Structure 1
Amino acid sequence: MKKKTLSIFALAAVLSACGGGKESATEAEVVEVAVTEEVAAVNALTEEEKSEGWQLLFDGKSAEGWRGYAAKELPAGWIIEDELFVALGKGGDIGGDVVYGAEEFGEFELKLEWKIAEGGNSGIFYHIVDEEKHKAPYYTAPEYQVIDQIGFPQKLEMWQSIGADYGMYTPDFEGAVKPAGEWNTTRIVFTEDKAEYFLNGKKTVSFDPWSDDWKQRKSEGKWKDYPDYGEAKSGYIGLQDHGAKTWYKNIKIRKL
């Protein structure tokens, strides 16, 4: 935990009348007031976060709790480097993704920071059902789209764009996009009544899970041939390795 101290200087001048009607400062007092503000260290919780029920999913030192999807160990394509959780870009459409397998989450608020290599594509999953009949997390799990929106080599449809509910709800990302290699902040708030996605403080998506609109989008869109997509009301959190180097830190969640 780090502490940041702000110094506030106040100048008090006492003016008195002198000969000839002129005024001058005869006394000056400088007062320094120290204000202490709690600042979270990287991959750590502040006392306020602890009191609000947040839990840390990555401490920057180990991958405790994390494993490969449909695996017992962490894939070789994931490492810890400089206190960051790093996907090396060795994964593809199937294979290479990781899940936080220590606990499942239903209604939650998730926040984390990430950056991606130029031209890269990745994603953040939730409500993953890790069963043998499903080859990858996206067979069951909604995905917050992580991508180099500016430098991706192919034309992106809106449903593929940064901050989207991938394949379902298109995002409003205007003013929130950063170039590849810069850190982004993602926040997902999910309850059974409302889901909201945020990118760098801006809300990109809002939808009602399992509503008639949601069901229609599923039945007519990308997920029409994936009967278990989005049906689970709880599951694992996951990170995608879709062939691009991606860095993650400050992965935090709280149950709602």
Structure 2
Amino acid sequence: MLKFKKQDSNFRSIMKKLIILCAISLFLISCSNLSRKNKAGAWINLFDGKSLNGWKASENPGTFKVENGSIIVEGPRAHLFYVGTVMNHDFKNFEFKARVMTMPGANSGIYFHTDYQEKGFPSKGHEVQVNNSHTDWRRTGSLYSIQDVKEVTVKDNEWFTEHIIVRGKKVTIKINDKTVVEYIEPDNVERSKDQAGRVISNGTFALQGHDPKSKVFYKEVMVRPLPY
């Protein structure tokens, strides 16, 4: 009888230790997963400052050129799509930043979650507006036709930072570190026929050449992929 009691006591002691070890393991796994979720990757340049390597222009390639470390956008309507190797040009959750400068009367935009399209304005993805003095009232930082900004927050002829953050269904847009848009896409969102592609999904980026009278500069174009 004494022998059985001793064995039973040893068994309970072993089981107690196993339970504690399992609890510790689960806690460490949970912490590790949380760390991975909250840790953003490093910033990655999408533009080398010298060429349009990794980018592909639609319909009017002459609208885009590189001078003095900047992409200059000037000419007939065209869009410059990122088609490079970073994330195989397919982004879902990310931070995107670019330094931008507009000339008076200029209109442009930064598309995300889009795909290469040979002609016309991209039908897939969202456009973040670049416009400080064009006749279109939607100003820099607008999530175009979804959540628009009427206030002019930056000036022509001056460099500013446009910062786009997408996490899940939330889009945050900052101009010079000031948040101008916070938008959460509703579940099962419905768009009109002409805006069917304006939903959060995945895809690449594109810089817009809006019209021959618009001149815009982009530099320090970079992305930081996010894990969730």
Report the TM-score, using the length of structure 2 for normalisation.
Answer: 0.72
Any idea what SS the aligned residue of 2:42 has? coil
The residue type equivalent to 1:198 in the other structure is K
Once structures 1 and 2 are overlaid, which stretch shifts more, 78-87 or 165-174?
165-174
Q: 1:64 aligns with which of 50, 53, 62?
A: 53
CA offset at residue 232 of structure 1? 5.8
CA distance in 2, matches of 1:246, 1:64: 19
Instruction: Give the SS at the match of 2:122.
Output: helix
Q: Which residue of 2 aligns with 1:180?
A: 156
- Measure, in 1, the Cα distance between the counterparts of 2:66 and 2:117: 27
Pick closer, same or farther for the CA change 1:98–1:253 going to 2, 3 Å.
Answer: same
* C-alpha displacement of 1:63: 1.2
**How far off is 1:137 after superposition?**
4.6
Partner residue in 1 for 2:147? 169
Q: Percent identity?
A: 27
Cα deviation, residue 77, structure 1: 1.6
2:79 is aligned to: 97
Structure 1 stretches lacking a partner, 5+ long: 1-50
Cross-structure match for 1:121: 107
Corresponding position of 1:4: none
Q: What residue in structure 2 maps to residue 195 of structure 1?
A: 171
Letter in 2 for 1:108: F
Cα deviation, 1:175-207, whole Å, max 9, x if unaligned, reads xx2221111100000012311001111111111
- CA distance change for structure 1 residues 155 and 108 in 2, over 3 Å: closer, same or farther? closer
Report the count of equivalent residues: 181
CA contact (8 A) 1:173 1:202 kept: no
Write 1 or 2 for the structure with the bigger share of strand: 1
Give distance in 2, aligned partners of 1:80 and 1:56: 15
Match of 1:144 among 121, 128, 140: 128
Where is the helix percentage greater, Structure 1 or Structure 2?
2
Higher relative contact order (Cα pairs below 8 Å, separated by 6+ residues): 2
Map Cα deviations across residues 21-78 of structure 1 (whole Å, 9 max, x no partner).
xxxxxxxxxxxxxxxxxxxxxxxxxxxxxx9421100121121101113x7xx81121
How far the C-alpha of 1:138 sits from its partner, in A, is 3.1
Q: State the one-letter code of the partner of 1:234.
A: N
Q: Is the 8 A contact 2:169 2:200 kept in 1?
A: no
Deviations 1:92-113 (A, max 9, x none): 3xxx110001211111100111
**Unpaired segments ≥5 residues, structure 2:** 1-39
Asked if 1:207 is matched to 2:177, the reply is no
* Aligned Cα root-mean-square deviation (Å): 2.2
Q: SS of the counterpart of 1:138?
A: coil
**1-side partners of 2:185 and 2:155: how far apart?**
31
CA distance in 2, matches of 1:230, 1:61: 32
Contact 2:125 2:201 in 1 (8 A): no
Give me the whole-angstrom Cα distance separating, in 2, the residues matched to 1:137 and 1:236: 14
Alpha-carbon distance between aligned partners in 2 of 1:211 and 1:123, rounded to the nearest angstrom: 26
> Counterpart of 1:76 in 2: which secondary structure?
helix
